[in-house]
Structures are given as C-alpha cells and as structure tokens.
Amino acid sequence: MVLNNSVIRVKGIWKGYQQDNLFYWILKGLDLNIFEDELVTVLGAPGSGKTTLLKVLSYREKPQKGQIFFQDRLLGWGNEEAILQMQEERIWLLGSFTEKCHLEVKDKKRLKAILLDEPDLASKTKEKSTLSEQLRALNRQGIAVVLATCDPELASQTRVIYKLKNGRLEKLTGKIRGNMQKGGI
C-alpha cells in the first residue's frame, strides 16, 4: 500500500536498552504513519519512551527490529551520508523550544517534519509564542509537526493524538479526547 503523502512511516519498531545485565523493551512493535501537514502529539508519562520514539523517527537511533520509511522509501542505516542529510535537512528533532527559537528554514521543500520533545508551547513568553506560531505556519505549508509531551492540555490542541504506554501506541479519539480536556487522562 503506497501512501502519497506519508512523511514518516514505521512498521514493527522494537527498541530497548540494556541496564545492569537486564534488557528492557521501550518500544514494542510500533506501527505509526505521520502525514504531510499533520500536527500530531505522542502523549505519555515520563519514561514511557516518547524521546526514544522521536529519536527513532528522526534517524538518531536505530531500532533493534522494524523498518522506517521516509516518504515511502526505506532508508538503509548503512548510508551515513543520507542519514546525516536526513537529520540536517529533512527531519528536525528539537530537544527544547530554545534549541531553534527562530526556525530558519531556507528550503521548505526539503524540510518534511519537525519533532519536538516536551515543548512548552502553552507559555506566554514571547519566544515560545513565536515558536508556536512558526510551527503552525510551517504545518500549514505541509510540514508534519510531532510533539512528544506528558501534558494532556497541550496534546488536546493537536489534531491527532497517540498515547504511548507500556511500549505501545493507542490512537485517542472522540470521547477519550473529551475526557483529556477535562483532565480525565
């Protein structure tokens, strides 16, 4: 199945870590599709794997199992030059709002996704407000924006919400979203 406007698609992603002679799976067989012009939230508790997922989606960490497609093309992990180009030009991973407060996008046709780890876009500071406006403007131009957060209020402001819990993703819809806005999740 070819999806014409898919930016990032992961299939069967497993990612874990070794600690004190024990192995822990953080992501367990995840399937996810991020489309152009989508504004997506990955909602989860601290330590649920949100940052790990963003690192996998942005080609910063290789999963133990599964495949990652960029615009429906499988990018091999052995192609270091292509991965570096992907990280610098195609998929930005921002660790905080201060990393690139003023998003300078020279070639918007090359940038396809911006992934933000625990952004605080609800704050009223000028820099955060400016970043929020810039993200929404880029999103309207077809650039996918993915927010990873533990803040249900921030999540409720996006069109698509996934909950990451116990290494699995669940798409939240309808009643569940309504409960989030009331503080139910």
> Is residue 21 domain-resident?
no
More confident residue, 87 or 57: 57
Q: Evaluate whether residue 157 is within a structural domain.
A: yes
Residue 1 belongs to a domain:
no
Q: How far apart are CA 160 and CA 156, in angstroms?
A: 9
Contact criterion met (CB below 8 Å) for 152 and 185:
yes
Average pLDDT, the chain: 81
CATH of residue 110's domain is 3.40.50.300
Residue 54 lies in a domain: yes
- R_g over Cα of the chain: 16
Give the whole-angstrom CA distance, residue 50 versus residue 113. 16
Confirm whether 77 is domain-assigned.
no
H or E segment and range at residue 132: helix 126-140
15-64 pLDDT tens trace:
999 999 999 999 999 999 999 889 999 999 999 999 999 999 999 999 99
Indicate if the pLDDT at residue 11 is higher than 70: yes
Identify whether 23 is part of a domain: no
Of 53, 17, 10, 26, residue with least CA distance to 149: 53
Q: Per the structure, how many domains does the chain have?
A: 1
Q: Please, which pLDDT band fits residue 98 given cuts at 50, 70 and 90?
A: very low
* Residue 147 lies in domain: 34-62+82-181
What pLDDT score does 141 carry? 85
